[in-house]
Structure 1
C-alpha cells in the first residue's frame, strides 16, 4: 500500500464514527434511483458505512462490498443485515483488487473516486473485474466547470484532503475516459458538481 493510500485509510478510520453525519450529499431518493440500475453479481467499491446496501433490489443476486477502512466496514456489517441481496464485505484497496477478471455484472461506486490516491488506476481495476457486457455506475462529485468556483475548489482542496479526506477538485469524467471505460451517459444531479456516470468496460 502506498503512503498516500495508507493516509487515506487512517483518515477514514478516524471519520468512521461520525461519517454518516457528514455524508448528506446523496439523498435517499437518489440512492434508490442509482442503485435500482444494478443487477446480477454486484461489486460496490468503497462501500463505506453501508448506506447503499438497503437500496439494492431483487435484481441483484449478491453484493460484494470492499473498503479500505476497517472502521467503515464495521459500520457496514449492521446495514448488511437490511439488504435484500446476500452481502459479503472485504477490506481491500480499490487500486489492487483481489478478484479475477470479469467477475461482476455491475460495479458501483458512490463518492469514492474523490479519495482514491490514483483514481485512474482504481478505474482500470473496475474495468478489469467487470464482465465485458457489464455495467459500471459511478455517482461522484467533481470539480466545477465554472472557472471561478473551480479555482476556489483547487485552492481549498489541500485543506479538505488534510482535515476531511476527499479531494473536491477531481475531474472524474475525464479520468473515466482516460481509464479506457466507455461512457454511456453522464447526468448532472441537482448541481453540476455531482454527476451520475454510467459506463461499460
Structure 2
C-alpha cells in the first residue's frame, strides 16, 4: 500500500484540529473559486471534506488517497458532489474534462509536485483555472523555521523547505492572481490559467 495512504489513514482522527486551523484560509480560497461561473471542479486532496458545503454552483469531484479521509467526507456527498479514491499523480480522468482544479495544502505533500501538475494540466480545459493554497518558503525570517524543520518533515510526508520558484510544472500555467495569507505571507493563494 502507498506509504502516504497509510500515513493519512492513521492521522484522520487529527483532522478536526487541522481543519480548525486551516478553516480561514480555505474560506478565502473557496470564496475566490465561487467568484467564477459554475463548472466542473476537481479538488485534489479533499481530505475529510468539511469545507465542501462552502462551494456554490459547481459540479464537484473530490479525490483523496486515503480511504479513511473519504469515509469522513462521504457525509457531504450529494447530487453535485462525488468522491473517489485516487492519487493526484495518477489521475484517471479524460483530457480537458474540468473547468477548475483546486489543491489546498496538497502541492507540498505530493511525492512529485511536477508530475501532479502534469496531470492537472492534462485534465484541465484550455482556459481553465487552477487554484493552489499552500505554504511556500519566503525570503524572510520564516525561512529559518522551514530549514530547521526540513530534516524531520519527511516523517510527516511534506516538504517544509518549499520554494515557489523551484516548481517547474507551474511554468506551463499563466499566473492570474497571487494573494499572501498569514504572517509574512507564508501561505499563498495562487490562481493560474491553463493556456
TM-score (norm 1): 0.85
Q: What residue number does 2:88 align with?
A: 94
Q: CA separation in 1, counterparts of 2:188 and 2:165? A: 9
Root mean square deviation, CA, Å: 2.1
- Flag as ranges the 4+ runs of structure 1 deviating above 6 A: none
CA displacement at 1:174 relative to structure 2: 4.4
5+ long unaligned stretches in structure 2: none
Decide whether the 8 Å contact of 2:99 with 2:129 is kept in 1: yes
Q: What residue number does 1:16 align with?
A: 12
TM-score (norm 2): 0.87
Equivalent residue pairs, number: 190
CA displacement at 1:71 relative to structure 2: 1.0
Q: What residue number does 1:79 align with?
A: 76
35-44 or 170-179, larger mean C-alpha shift: 170-179
For residue 158 of structure 2, give the secondary structure of its aligned residue in structure 1.
Answer: coil
Q: CA separation in 2, counterparts of 1:153 and 1:47? A: 25
Higher helix share: 2
For residue 95 of structure 1, give the secondary structure of its aligned residue in structure 2.
Answer: helix
Q: In the TM superposition, what whole-angstrom CA distance separates every residue of 1:69-112 from its partner, at most 9, and x where no partner exists?
A: 1111111101234xxx6111111111110001100011111111
5+ long unaligned stretches in structure 1: none
